[in-house]
């Protein structure tokens, strides 16, 4: 029988990679806490409608990337392709409007049926931040600066540029959409097939097209900045000037082609993109925007909101590849008769929050080899003689020095040693 393979576009995490993954999430959470974010998690699947209604029928995600299944009760369910729709659904289901403003951090796996390549998987992970209930443009600025703060902590920011755009309010978008339809209709024969459909259903989406011919047309298309209502224009200008006057001012550019792939955005949209080769063609690292209409559109109360997400796998491709682990203390049971005492000592050390591991072997030399293999900093040797005399030998595995310590003093002796780390 051939070896069992993982599903295409999925990935097993182990060793150094798994450690870096966990550390990255912990670091991101801690930066989020500086800005008042708390954890929130929603189910990994939702009724298909939750995503269909929010992301838009013409979005790539809904039109071709969703993992949708019918369960045994005949319900159509979809594995979440992103976080925002689930958070918005939870907001409505649980009446979170009582708790506004809310700052929520989520992380976990997402699923999209895409062509797997570097930085693009079918099961991938995101870190996701949503700021609900705040309409001020300063919330947009704050979120973009949080994104930059995270990228900076991960030492990725120097490899990125920041692009922003506005989608205005409803009125701006209606005027702009009309201008776009006029423009693209006069060039209809040059549009890709997908974009011809978009022209009928959702013309803004053409700006997001990856087709080379479409991109040439998009370059000369009308720009939304010329169609903003006074209120939308003022909102946009506050965000731009706030960002110019901040640490991201020097990496900021305005890109009128940024519309984001999903239908629910309004006002600010932004992307941090890497110019480094490490992520291949998949260079969007962290992206988001304001989505004031979404919760109301789903049947909830009108709630202003702004959020962003970043792909964990892409962050890991860009982050420095160092991971450390703390060396354990090895409790060496030399022979079966010492196992019970060795096990109890191991637990006593763990209960005092130091890392300990029991290793067992009849042959003292081989037992020490095992301690080396688990990268132990110290080995405590327990055999019949030691248990009888109540005097344990502690060996420093870095220096080779040994010391004899009385049974009663052993835990405190070990706790007083300095924690050492090793590089994975």
Q: Which residues bind ligand ATP (CB under 6 A)?
A: 82, 112, 114, 119-121, 124, 126, 261, 282, 284-285, 287, 309-311, 313-314
| Residue count of the chain | 424
Residues 19/424, Cβ–Cβ less than 8 Å: yes
- Helix (H), strand (E) counts: the chain: 15, 18
Does 31 sit behind a cis peptide bond, omega within 30 degrees of 0 on the bond before it?
Answer: no
- Between residues 121 and 195, which has the closer beta carbon with respect to ligand ATP? 121
Lookup: tokens for 84: 């925002």
- Between residues 58 and 126, which has the closer beta carbon with respect to ligand ATP? 126
| Chain-centre distance for alpha carbon 313 | 8
| Min separation Cβ 9 and ligand ATP, Å | 8
In the block, tokens 């993982």 appear at 6
| Min separation Cβ 60 and ligand ATP, Å | 7
DSSP for residue 221:
S
Lookup: tokens for 293: 């209409």
- Between residues 88 and 310, which has the closer beta carbon with respect to ligand ATP? 310
Lookup: tokens for 176: 């702009």
| Min separation Cβ 197 and ligand ATP, Å | 18
Q: DSSP E strands: which ranges in 167-265? A: 252-254
Radius of gyration of the chain (CA): 28
| Min separation Cβ 125 and ligand ATP, Å | 8
DSSP for residue 3:
P
d(CA 383, CA 356): 18
| Min separation Cβ 311 and ligand ATP, Å | 3
- Between residues 36 and 280, which has the closer beta carbon with respect to ligand ATP? 280
- Between residues 206 and 382, which has the closer beta carbon with respect to ligand ATP? 206
Q: DSSP E strands: which ranges in 265-368? A: 266-274, 284-290, 305-311, 324-326, 329-333, 356-360
| Min separation Cβ 112 and ligand ATP, Å | 5
In sequence order, what DSSP letters do the residues of 28-67 get, joined into one string? HHHHHHHTT-EE----SEEEHHHHHHHH-TTSHIIIII--
| Min separation Cβ 137 and ligand ATP, Å | 21
d(CA 202, CA 205): 6
In the block, tokens 């248990």 appear at 387
**Maximum CA extent, the chain:** 95
| Min separation Cβ 48 and ligand ATP, Å | 17
In the block, tokens 């637990």 appear at 347
- Between residues 155 and 421, which has the closer beta carbon with respect to ligand ATP? 155
| Contacts for 54 with CB less than 8 Å, ≥ 6 apart | 84, 85, 88, 262, 263, 264, 294, 297, 298
- Between residues 188 and 210, which has the closer beta carbon with respect to ligand ATP? 210
Residues 129/307, Cβ–Cβ less than 8 Å: yes
- Between residues 82 and 263, which has the closer beta carbon with respect to ligand ATP? 82
Residue nearest to ligand ATP (CB): 311
- Between residues 82 and 134, which has the closer beta carbon with respect to ligand ATP? 82
| Min separation Cβ 129 and ligand ATP, Å | 12
- Between residues 114 and 296, which has the closer beta carbon with respect to ligand ATP? 114
| Min separation Cβ 149 and ligand ATP, Å | 17
């Amino acid at each position: 029988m051939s070896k069992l393979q993982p599903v295409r576009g999925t990935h097993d995490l182990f060793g150094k990679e798994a450690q870096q993954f966990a550390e990255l999430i912990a670091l991101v959470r801690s930066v989020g806490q500086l800005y008042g974010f708390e954890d929130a998690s929603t189910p990994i699947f939702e009724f298909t409608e939750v995503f269909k209604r929010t992301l838009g029928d013409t979005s790539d995600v809904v039109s071709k990337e969703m993992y949708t299944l019918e369960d045994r009760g005949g319900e159509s369910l979809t594995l979440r392709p992103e976080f925002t729709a689930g958070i918005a659904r939870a907001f409505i289901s649980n009446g979170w409007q009582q708790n506004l403003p809310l700052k929520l951090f989520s992380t976990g796996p997402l699923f999209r049926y895409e062509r797997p390549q570097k930085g693009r998987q079918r099961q991938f992970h995101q870190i996701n931040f949503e700021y609900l209930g705040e309409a001020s443009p300063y919330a947009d600025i704050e979120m973009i600066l949080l994104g930059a703060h995270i990228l900076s902590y991960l030492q990725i920011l120097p490899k990125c540029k920041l692009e922003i755009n506005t989608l205005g309010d409803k009125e701006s978008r209606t005027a702009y959409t009309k201008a776009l339809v006029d423009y693209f209709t006069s060039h209809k024969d040059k549009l890709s097939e997908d974009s011809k459909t978009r022209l009928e259903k959702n013309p803004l989406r053409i700006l997001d097209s990856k087709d080379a011919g479409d991109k040439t047309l998009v370059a000369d298309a009308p720009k939304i900045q010329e169609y903003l209502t006074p209120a939308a224009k003022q909102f946009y200008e506050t965000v731009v000037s706030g960002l110019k006057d901040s640490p991201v001012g020097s990496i900021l550019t305005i890109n009128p082609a940024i519309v984001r792939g999903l239908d629910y955005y309004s006002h600010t949209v932004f992307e941090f993109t890497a110019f480094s080769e490490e992520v291949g063609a998949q260079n969007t690292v962290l992206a988001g925007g304001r989505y004031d209409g979404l919760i109301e559109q789903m049947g909830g109360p009108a709630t202003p909101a702004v959020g962003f997400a970043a792909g964990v796998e892409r962050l890991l491709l860009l982050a420095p590849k160092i991971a450390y682990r703390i060396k354990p203390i090895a409790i060496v049971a030399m022979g079966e008769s010492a196992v019970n005492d060795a096990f109890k000592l191991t637990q006593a050390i763990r209960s005092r929050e130091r890392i300990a591991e029991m290793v067992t072997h009849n042959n003292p030399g081989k037992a020490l080899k095992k301690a080396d293999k688990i990268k132990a900093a110290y080995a405590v040797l327990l055999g019949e003689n030691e248990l009888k005399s109540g005097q344990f030998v502690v060996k420093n595995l870095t220096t080779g020095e040994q010391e004899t310590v009385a049974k009663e003093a052993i835990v405190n002796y070990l706790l007083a040693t300095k924690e050492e780390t090793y590089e994975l």
